[in-house]
């Protein structure tokens, strides 16, 4: 195995030159790819690489083979600068500018080549590379370009870092963002021209995207991302070169295919961002959400140890594409006791359910007070967020809100120690005619009825007096003047306390 790696280097000088060129291009392109990926400018390399063909044709026209490198470099820098200038000084978006420039310059290059028909330009090698044909002078230019690019990136790393992630802050502190944009364009142009012989104009696009995208799957810090991307570029260059040598295929496609294979592996197996890891995490999250929702469904504020019938639990579970076997999972976790009568929460289950109730009601209070979310929408908003807030976040939320005692519906918020304060009161439908009271709490289990309560002004702390009763309606006065007809369904969900005494409370669980 080792002989397969060593023999080509000892026996063939072009392999040594090709390896040095491929590694230089692979590492340099990979480092720049990180900046392009995090700035969402991956197609900038595409645009400049297409423009290089015009520079190749012009350089050969004026100075034969010796002018190819310099012609390509000049046109690459010019086209990149033009793209940046137009994007900064016109309403045309960057992607549109790149599309216009790269198609125009590529077409001009093809037109010039078709007219002059130069014999010294091999379009196949220009487009797809031939790293095994690198000469000593080619290598010198490639290494000089690569080293220059890496030195500049390292020297200006802090500026590139801030500009890439927070351009507004970069401008606010007086950073010359325009200079950085032109500098990145120049570095990108030099890298593309250096890659001309190694991977070609078309496939250099992949080397300016794939290593950075691969590193983004494995790390989130830009410095670490550049190191990982450089390693990917190194492996792709070395592996692709040997594949090109032994399989006898073009060097550019071989290098890009190895880089793509590395990306595919990272996409599947990256520890946190890979497909498999995210699939496992989603399943874990779904199980946790179902567990927390079921504990809340089993929780009874009036009697936390109350039994819920299996029929009721089964109905709740069927609406969530699962079955009663999920209860046995909670039994094994010590959260639920299960017997012939039904399911009841254990002490640990009650504690967890109270935690979720506390989180939910604090989120409702925050959404209402801070964002002005209407009462009928609060439950759904809190339902979406409650599983994402950790205990530290709940404590911060409670402190931010000033330790509120009730949510906007009037429901008591459990304390941080697991105590649930109960507000005394009876449904409005139970009040006799002439009874005056204050709304302590409104139910939120029926959105349509809650919307009706909001329309009628029957809200917590509002005064309400029962004037008359019928079979299925009540006549009530809300506040001092409004006389309304309300259904018993609505009245069943409005809890009032007499106005002639304080609101009694009792300790919870």
Q: pLDDT for 75-125, tens place per residue?
A: 888 888 898 889 888 888 888 888 898 889 989 988 988 887 777 666 677
Q: Look at residue 276 and tell me whether its pLDDT is greater than 90.
A: yes
Q: Look at residue 46 and tell me whether its pLDDT is greater than 50.
A: yes
pLDDT in the model for residue 30: 94
Residues 175 and 231 in one domain: yes
pLDDT in the model for residue 409: 92
CATH of the domain at 447: 2.30.30.90
Render pLDDT for 186-236 as a digit per residue (tens, 0 to 9): 899 888 887 776 667 767 888 899 999 999 999 989 999 999 999 999 999
Please name the residues in contact with 252: beta carbons below 8 A apart, sequence gap of 6 or more: 128, 129, 130, 131, 198, 199, 200, 202, 203
Residue 157 vs residues 38, 192, 450: alpha-carbon distances, Å:
14, 20, 56
Q: Give the least confident one: 126-130, 181-185, 189-193, 389-393.
A: 126-130
Q: Write down which residue in 248, 273, 298 finishes a domain.
A: 273
CATH of the domain at 164: 1.10.3470.10
Residues 185 and 138 in one domain: yes
Burial of 28 by CB count in 10 Å (0-12 exposed, 13-18 middle, 19+ buried)? Answer: buried
Please tell me the distance from the alpha carbon of residue 75 to that of residue 185, in angstroms, as a whole number: 12
Q: Taking Cα atoms as reference points, which of 280, 284, 264, 261 lies closest to residue 272?
A: 280
Residues 344 and 248 in one domain: no
Torsion 131-133-136-141 (CA) sign? negative
Render pLDDT for 419-471 as a digit per residue (tens, 0 to 9): 887 766 889 998 888 889 999 999 888 899 999 999 999 999 999 999 988 88
Please tell me the distance from the alpha carbon of residue 81 to that of residue 309, in angstroms, as a whole number: 72
pLDDT in the model for residue 508: 36
Burial of 82 by CB count in 10 Å (0-12 exposed, 13-18 middle, 19+ buried)? Answer: middle
Q: Write down which residue in 238, 254, 273 finishes a domain.
A: 273
Is 184 in contact with 35 (CB distance < 8 Å)? yes
Residues 210 and 320 in one domain: no
Q: What is the mean pLDDT of the chain?
A: 85
**Collapsed DSSP state (helix, strand, coil) of residue 259:** helix
Is 208 in contact with 42 (CB distance < 8 Å)? yes
CB atoms within 10 A of CB 145: 23
Structure tokens at 382: 């809190």
Please give the residue that has the higher pLDDT: either 3 or 115. 115
**Collapsed DSSP state (helix, strand, coil) of residue 236:** helix
Please tell me the distance from the alpha carbon of residue 497 to that of residue 351, in angstroms, as a whole number: 29
Please give the residue that has the higher pLDDT: either 170 or 310. 170
Query: Would you place residue 503 in the very low, low, confident or very high pLDDT band (cuts 50, 70, 90)?
Result: very low
Render pLDDT for 361-385 as a digit per residue (tens, 0 to 9): 999 999 999 989 999 999 999 988 9
CATH of the domain at 345: 1.10.10.10
Residues 63 and 117 in one domain: yes
Helix or strand holding residue 298 (H, E): helix 275-298
Q: Which domain holds residue 266?
A: 2-273
Residues 156 and 251 in one domain: yes
Residues 369 and 493 in one domain: no
Q: Write down which residue in 273, 306, 332 finishes a domain.
A: 273
Torsion 122-126-127-132 (CA) sign? positive
Q: How many domains does the chain have?
A: 3
In the predicted model, what is the mean pLDDT of residues 232-242?
92
Residues 109 and 240 in one domain: yes
pLDDT in the model for residue 1: 67
Percent of the chain with pLDDT over 70: 94
Residues 329 and 206 in one domain: no
Global pTM? 0.74
Q: Rounded to a whole number, what is the largest CA-CA distance in the chain?
A: 107
Residues 113 and 197 in one domain: yes
Is 250 in contact with 220 (CB distance < 8 Å)? no
Residues 414 and 446 in one domain: no
Q: Taking Cα atoms as reference points, which of 75, 21, 85 lies closest to residue 50?
A: 75
pLDDT in the model for residue 66: 67
Please tell me the distance from the alpha carbon of residue 382 to that of residue 391, in angstroms, as a whole number: 15
Render pLDDT for 50-70 as a digit per residue (tens, 0 to 9): 888 888 888 888 877 667 778
Residues 81 and 156 in one domain: yes
Residue 271 vs residues 37, 61, 212, 225: alpha-carbon distances, Å:
20, 52, 17, 15
Structure tokens at 15: 């392999």
Please tell me the distance from the alpha carbon of residue 237 to that of residue 258, in angstroms, as a whole number: 8
């Amino acid at each position: 195995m080792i002989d397969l790696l060593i023999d080509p280097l000892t026996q063939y000088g072009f392999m040594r030159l090709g390896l040095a060129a491929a590694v230089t291009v692979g590492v340099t392109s990979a480092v720049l790819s990180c900046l392009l990926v995090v700035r969402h400018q991956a197609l900038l390399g595409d645009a400049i690489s297409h423009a290089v063909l015009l520079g190749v044709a012009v350089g050969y026209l004026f100075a034969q083979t010796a002018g190819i490198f310099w012609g390509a470099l000049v046109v690459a820098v010019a086209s990149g600068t033009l793209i940046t200038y137009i994007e900064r000084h016109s309403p045309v978006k960057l992607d549109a500018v790149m599309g216009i420039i790269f198609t125009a310059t590529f077409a001009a290059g093809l037109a010039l080549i078709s007219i002059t028909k130069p014999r010294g330009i091999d379009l196949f090698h220009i487009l797809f590379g031939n790293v095994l044909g690198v000469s000593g002078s080619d290598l010198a230019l490639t290494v000089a370009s690569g080293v220059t690019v890496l030195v500049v990136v390292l020297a200006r790393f802090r500026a590139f870092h801030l500009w890439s992630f927070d351009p507004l802050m970069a401008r606010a502190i007086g950073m010359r963002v325009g200079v950085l944009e032109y500098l990145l364009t120049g570095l990108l142009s030099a890298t593309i021209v250096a890659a001309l012989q190694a991977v070609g104009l078309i496939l250099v696009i992949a080397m300016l995207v794939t290593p950075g995208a691969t590193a983004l799957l494995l790390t989130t810090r830009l410095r670490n991302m550049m190191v990982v991307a450089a390693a990917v570029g190194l492996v792709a260059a070395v592996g692709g070169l040997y594949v090109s040598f032994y399989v006898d295929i073009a060097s550019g496609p071989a290098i890009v295919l190895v880089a793509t294979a590395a990306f595919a592996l990272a996409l599947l197996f990256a520890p946190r961002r890979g497909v498999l890891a995210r699939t496992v995490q989603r399943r874990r999250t779904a199980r946790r959400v179902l567990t927390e929702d079921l504990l809340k469904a089993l929780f009874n504020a009036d009697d936390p140890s109350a039994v819920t019938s299996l029929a009721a639990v089964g109905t709740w579970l069927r609406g969530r594409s699962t079955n009663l076997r999920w209860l046995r999972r909670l039994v094994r976790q010590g959260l639920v006791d299960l017997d012939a009568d039904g399911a009841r929460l254990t002490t640990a289950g009650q504690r967890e359910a109270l935690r979720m109730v506390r989180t939910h009601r604090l989120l409702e209070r925050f959404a209402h007070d801070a964002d002005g979310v209407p009462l009928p929408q609060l439950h759904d908003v809190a339902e979406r967020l409650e599983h994402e807030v950790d205990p530290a976040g709940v404590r911060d939320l409670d402190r931010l809100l000033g330790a509120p005692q009730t949510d906007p519906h009037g429901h008591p918020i459990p304390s941080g120690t697991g105590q649930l304060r109960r507000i005394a009161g009876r449904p409005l439908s139970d009040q006799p005619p002439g009874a005056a009271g204050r709304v302590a709490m409104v139910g939120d289990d029926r959105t349509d009825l809650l919307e009706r309560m909001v329309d009628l002004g029957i809200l917590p702390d509002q005064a309400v007096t029962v004037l008359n009763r019928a079979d299925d309606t009540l006549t009530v006065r809300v506040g001092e003047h409004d006389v309304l007809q309300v259904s018993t369904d609505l009245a069943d969900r409005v809890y009032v306390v007499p106005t002639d005494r304080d609101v009694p409370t009792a300790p919870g669980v």
